[in-house]
Amino acid sequence: MRVLVMMSGGVDSSVAAALLRDDGHEVVGTTLKLWGGESDSGCCSVSDVDDARRVADRLGIDHHTFNFSEAFDSNVVDPYVADHARNRTPNPCIECNRHVKFDAVDERARLLGFDAVATGHHARIVTRPDGTLRVARGADRAKDQSYVVHVLDQARLARTLFPIGHLAKAEVREIATRMGLRTASKPDSQDVCFITRAQGRGSFLGDRIPLTPGRVVDVEGTRVGEVPAIELVTVGQRRGLGLPGGTDPRYVLDVDPATSTVTVGSKDDLLVSSQRVEDLMWSAEAVTGTVEVQCSAHGRTAPAVVERGDGDGTTATVRWVRPQRRVAPGQSMVFYEGDSVAGGARSC
């Protein structure tokens, strides 16, 4: 099988390429040029391209660099900025996977005659008794990335490989060391490759959209503080609100852009019995009954029932078995049956 492996310059994708080669596949590596600005996250830099190329040389496979910066800007960076402007929580890694890595790259791979694409994600693909495919959790629960690749449909799953999903991270590094790969001890990259530590999210967004100062009020409506930019505030946030100390912790309950008001309250005030969602998708058929819902990349799950709404089937209500903290608008919510992904949506 001809496989195009997306090699980021990190240890996971390096070992993914090595394992596929050892399994007898015709492997070609590609490093994606996605972000044209500054980056200190261990992604998209000249050194990462060099690391990937040198690993490919070590493995005896061809390597190419593909420029998908235009697709990345329009499908990841621009929506990231737009979500903040609307006081929504973006999911840049998920959108990169949805629109770039498993869409644009896969389409190019298809045109070039590749049978499959592969990445170094810590996730697995499993076949169910009815023949349908699902993303499943990686063997290393601490490194599991099924949440960020939950968007793959049946067509994409059929052309995707996750060669290291059955390995613990320590095993991946051991294999890289044994093979003499230069990435064996390279640190993991950060999530948001286009936000630098020096610049920060506030500066990045401030260069692109107006940032609006806002007042902070409690549930009684009493003013208790102020924030420099409501666009940087997220439901559930506790720190960075400039509130005086010496009181019980207070969390963001709501952000009202119309009045530039942030409402805060106790942890119990965050609890809700249901959550409206949109952009609903299922891995195959819609699931009835209880699922486990995960609301962040490495968060815990909670049981709920997904009740589909009227209309085109892309909206629903997630009814929690026990009240849970309100999920920030825009945040991805992924539905699991056991260790496999049944579907997902974004909170309203």
Residues recognised as catalytic? 96, 193
User: Residues in the chain, how many?
Assistant: 348
Three-state SS at 18: helix
3-state SS string over 42-82? Answer: CCCCHHHHHHHHHHHHHHCCEEEEEECHHHHHHHHHHHHHH
What number of other Cβ atoms are within 10 A of residue 307's Cβ? 11
Q: What is the rounded CA–CA span in Å between residue 31 and residue 65?
A: 5
DSSP letters for 105-121: HHHHHHHTT-SEEE---
CA-based Rg of the chain, rounded to a whole angstrom? 21
| Closest by CA position to 104, among listed 66, 141, 78, 130 | 66
- Angular region, 219: left φ>0, alpha ψ -120 to 50, beta rest: alpha
Q: What is the rounded CA–CA span in Å between residue 286 and residue 68?
A: 33
Residue 345: strand pairing partners: 333
- Angular region, 60: left φ>0, alpha ψ -120 to 50, beta rest: left
Determine the distance from the C-alpha atom of residue 188 to the mean position of all C-alpha atoms in its chain, rounded to a whole number: 15
Cβ contact 325:271 at 8 Å: yes
| Closest by CA position to 169, among listed 125, 139, 135 | 139
| Closest by CA position to 8, among listed 150, 139, 105, 134 | 105
